[in-house]
Amino acid sequence: MFERWRNGALGLAALLLLANAPRAASETADHAAKKPEAPACDRARFRAVVDVGHTAEVPGAMSARNAPEYEFNLRLAKVVVQDLMDAGFAKALLLVTDGPTMAGLAKRVNAANNYAADLFLSIHHDSVPDRFLEDWEYDGKPSHFSDRFKGHSIFISSDNPEFKESLQFARFLGHQLKDRGLQYTPHYTEAFMGNRRRELVDAEVGVYRYDQLVVLRSTQMPAALLEAGSIINRDEELALATPERQALIGAAATDAVTQFCAAHAARPQVARPQEAHPQVARSPAAAEGAKSSGLFAPLLNLFKHQ
């Protein structure tokens, strides 16, 4: 008798479990459906400032074939900004300044801070200390080169108020460059670099710490500086001048910005100036320098990307 009762009770319990299973599964599905999704990157609102290193008046390093660094910086920065805009970052800003070095650095920082940028990326191209230079003749002119080093490098400052976020973006950028087969240069860790020696923060993708750089420590948003490659290296100079290499770097930068934007989508929105325009001079000298380089026309579109 007890055995029959027990079997009946077990059978009833099994029926109840089966009856409740669809409801339990439905409740689980409903719970999963109601789980909040991670915020998406709002590309239309994200403000990325792409800074053109140096100026037409103070053009930076000279390449092995006597082309000023400023030309390389301007050309690549334009590619990066265009790629960002094509990807939906409508407020990407190409930042060009003029004048002497220190005044130009202050203009860059003030422009980025006044724009309430979400990210600051400065574009440069590398050279070497003078003691590494060798003589050669190019196009009938005495020139200098050093084929000893090649590769890109990424710099951040621990004095930046958002150092962790700067490092995060720098790592995103480094990985994107690495995934495209580009290698960073490790020579900044060597003792022979003297006062140019830097701490390697990420040995996998070539992120260095450079606290003294004004545009990295004084900007009020995550900031990084990319040395896209060595223009004093004769082979790399030629590669960096090609649309193919520029497109590769532009795509890497755009994907890194997209990753960074998505990672910080949940952050509170920064109070924005009412359609503020960066207060950066566009002198005739700067305009003429860009025009004579044949890099883009017209220059008047510089601050259109807001």
- For the chain, list the domains and their CATH numbers: 48-301 (3.40.630.40)
Question: What number of helices (H) and strands (E) belong to the chain?
Answer: 8, 9
Which of 91, 116, 162 lies closest to 269 in space, CA to CA?
116
CA distance 188 to 193: 6
Q: Which long-range contacts (CB under 8 A, 24 or more apart) does 237-246 make?
A: 237/63, 237/64, 237/65, 237/67, 240/72, 240/76, 240/125, 241/67, 241/72, 246/75, 246/76, 246/79
Contact 231, 65 (CB under 8 A): no
55 backbone dihedrals φ, ψ, rounded to 5°: -140, 170
Contact 172, 259 (CB under 8 A): yes
- Identity of residue 124: H
User: What are the E-state strand segments in the chain?
Assistant: 48-52, 93-95, 119-126, 134-138, 141-145, 153-156, 199-202, 207-209, 223-230
pTM value is: 0.79
Tens of pLDDT, residue by residue, the chain (306 residues): 445 545 554 454 444 444 455 554 455 455 444 555 556 899 999 999 999 999 999 999 999 999 999 999 999 999 999 999 999 999 999 999 998 888 889 999 999 999 999 999 999 999 999 999 999 999 999 999 999 999 999 999 999 999 999 999 999 999 999 999 999 999 999 999 999 999 999 999 999 999 999 999 999 999 999 999 999 999 999 999 999 999 999 999 999 999 999 998 866 655 555 444 444 433 334 444 444 433 332 232 333 333
Relative to beta strand 48-52, strand 93-95 is parallel
3-state secondary structure of 249: helix
CA distance 167 to 159: 12
User: What are the E-state strand segments in 2-104?
Assistant: 48-52, 93-95
